[in-house]
Each structure stands twice: as structure tokens, then as C-alpha cells.
Amino acid sequence: MAYLFVPGPVDVDPGVAQAQARPMIPHRSKEFETIFHRAANKSKALFGTQYRVFISTSSGTGLHEAAVRNLSKERILACVNGAFGKRWFDVATTNGKAADKLDVEWGKPVTAEAVAEALKQQHYDLLTVVQNETSTGLMNPVDEIAAAVREVSPDTIVAVDAVSSLSGAPMKMDEWGIDFVLTSSQKALALPPGISLAAVSDRALERAESVPNRGWYFDLLRLEKHRIKNSTPATPAVALVYALDAQMDRILAEGVEARWERHLAMSERVQQWALERGFGLFAAEGYRSYTVTTVANTHNISIADLNAFLLQRGMRLANGYGDLKNKTFRIAHMGEVHMEDVNTLLAAIDEYMAQ
């Protein structure tokens, strides 16, 4: 069964974990280049893209930096309705980029209408938005947002953080007209922390060509030059690429859409349980996450005591994030978690509450 019901790092399948124990090989060898190319190509199915996928030895936040450094030379509109939308804004400003926040109340979605209105008031060459806010358990309608951008400001590049949703919720990058989608290994992909992936459109690469001071490590043009040769500018996390290659086989065997459906079913189960027990749900109805449910702690239970109880049974969930600590708790249902695991956890919480 799964043990970690926190929004990353999550449980890793033992066979995938074991894949990391393969002997090291030189990262400039043909053998490694074959594995690297194969893993990246298989992952395109998760993004819903025909374009290239870069594998980075960094967390997803590194690819936040890649987006702002490569894709904006004028001004960025950062959609902020949670902690990670705000982080992307902070990454932009600390990299010296001009940026504005489209602030939305936490727990409420960023809407296409709000984005369209902001774009009518000011020109932005890059828009950043988080698909799935793990701080609030909310999923933004990135398909509708991208459509609004295309209609109002078609030259604006759309970049999406899918760190905690990719492979656990629908992503159709090309169909939706998104230019840049990033994710991290330790969330719904169910891999150890340490690598991140970004799918990048031709349009985004063309934009990067005109942007000065892209840096070195996250320069998309440098990454592309090496990707064409099935390699990376710097030494990659070889063992994690082995694991990615193995995990992609498991995901594709399950089926990408079947995986989305499994995550949706688990989210609906947790939401139903929370409401039946008299808890609230922090995220607005109609925008609740497939991969993590943020439960409003209306019973004022001690999250620390609850986790101490769960740890005796080998399980753990997450407290609320930042200002939401103790006001909410988060149940992640992503990656290797299945319905029977969710039911075991919920039964244990019921047992704790009956004491």
C-alpha cells in the first residue's frame, strides 16, 4: 500500500527505485544517450505535445527560472492564487524581470475573464500560471486561460506549472495552445526528487532567441542544441533518468487517460468523505484538484496529533501550507496511491476522530 499522503515527495514503486541501482555509465556515452532520448520521447504523451521535452537536474522551481529568463524581455503577468503562483512571481522579480501579479483570493480560480481583462490593460510578453495549487487543492482552468490569451494577446507566451498535476490530471499542451509546461519528478510522476521536465514549443524557442541574458544552466537554446544530440550541457542525474525511463513504461502501460481517471476517482472519494464528516473543502467547487484535497479543519482537530496517530500505522498526511497551517490539512492522492490506499487512510482518520 501507499504510506505518504503528502503532496511530494511521494511513494516510489520498488521496481522504479531499483532502476536507479543500475551501474553508472558515462553521460556522454551512446548507451546513456539512448536511454535519455527514449525517456524524454516517452514523456511527451504526458504533456500532450509533439514538441521537445527537456530533462533538467533541478526541482521544478529551476524551470520557473528557465521560463522567466528565456521567455520574457518586456513584462510578465504572474497569476497568483496560491503559494506556488506567488513563488513564480518572486522568481521573476529576483531575476530582475518586470512583473505584475494578477491576484486572486486563495481557494478561488484564476479565470479566463480576469486574464483577458488584465491583458487588455497592459501588454505582457509572458503569462505564468499554476495548473494545480498544492497549497489550496485547486486546479486552475489553464485550457480556458490559454484560449483567452490567444484571443486577446496572441503574441503572449503561456507558461504553465504542472508540478503536482502532470500525469494525474489532463494536460493537452498542443491542443490548448500552451507554449511551456513544467513538472517535477516527486509528485504525480512518483519518482524520487531531483529532476524536472519541461515541454517547450517551437514558438517559445523562437522567443528565447530574442531574449538577452538567458543565463547558462537554464538557457533553452543551449539545452536544445544538446538535446538534438541526445545529451545535456552539464552532467545530468543519470540514476534518475534510469528511473524516469522505467516509470514511463509503467505509466504508459496503465494508460495516460486511465491514470487521470484513477486520480479523479480518488479525489472525489476524499471530497465526499470530508463533506460527510462535516469538514469543509478549501477550493471552490468545480475547480478541485485531481491530486490533492485541501480539507478545511472545521472540527479544529490537532493535525500534529492526527499525524502521530497515523504514523503508528505507517501513514502520513500534510498540514496546511503557510498561513493555512492547522486551518486546513491536505490529503494527497497521487502517483502510486490507489483507491484501496485512500480507503485505508480515511478509515484510520475516522478511527482517530472516534477516540
* C-alpha to C-alpha distances, 221 to 35, 66, 90, 232, nearest whole angstrom: 22, 11, 24, 11
Q: Is 350 exposed, middle or buried (0-12, 13-18, 19+ CB in 10 A)?
A: exposed
pLDDT tens, 93-149? 999 999 999 999 999 999 999 999 999 999 999 999 999 999 999 999 999 999 999
pLDDT in tens, 298-329: 999 999 999 999 999 999 999 999 999 999 99
**Length of the chain (residues):** 355
Per-residue model confidence (pLDDT) at position 2 = 79
305: its cell numbers: 496529533
Q: What does the pLDDT look like over 187-233, one tens digit per residue? A: 999 999 999 999 999 999 999 999 999 999 999 999 999 999 888 99
The mean of the pLDDT values for the chain is 97
In terms of DSSP H, where are the helices of 210-338? 220-227, 238-254, 256-276, 303-311
Question: Mean of the pLDDT values across residues 56-70?
Answer: 98
pLDDT at 310: 98
Look at residue 197 in the predicted model and tell me its pLDDT: 98
- Is residue 105 located within the same domain as residue 183? yes
pLDDT, position 1: 75
Examine the pLDDT at 294 and tell me if it is beyond 90: yes
Answer whether 199's CB lies under 8 Å from 21's CB: no
Last residue of a domain, which of 252, 275, 306?
Answer: 252
Mean pLDDT of 223-250: 96
- Looking at the fold, whether 288 and 303 belong to one and the same domain comes out as yes
Range of the domain at 260: 4-8+256-353
CATH code where residue 61 lies: 3.40.640.10
Q: What does the pLDDT read at residue 10?
A: 97
Domain match, 156 and 260 both: no
The total of other beta-carbon atoms located within 10 Å of residue 96's CB is 10
Q: Looking at residue 99, what is its pLDDT? A: 98
Q: Which of 230, 79, 233 is nearest to 160 (CA)?
A: 79
Mean pLDDT of 168-188: 98
For residue 257, give every residue at least 6 positions away whose Cβ sits within 8 Å of its Cβ, in sequence order, or none: none
Round to whole Å and give the CA distance between 205 and 70: 8
pLDDT of the residue at 137: 98
> Angle, to 10 degrees, between the axis of helix 256-276 and the axis of helix 238-254?
80
Question: Which residue, 226, 252, 278, sits at the end of a domain?
Answer: 252
**How many structural domains comprise the chain?**
2
Residues 136 and 274 occupy one common structural domain: no
Among 83, 86, 110, 101, which Cα is nearest to 287's? 110
Same domain, 205 and 294: no
Please report the pLDDT score of residue 61 as a whole number.
98
* Dihedral-angle region of residue 326 (phi above 0 means left; psi in -120 to 50 means alpha; beta otherwise): left
Residues 247 and 288 both lie in one domain: no
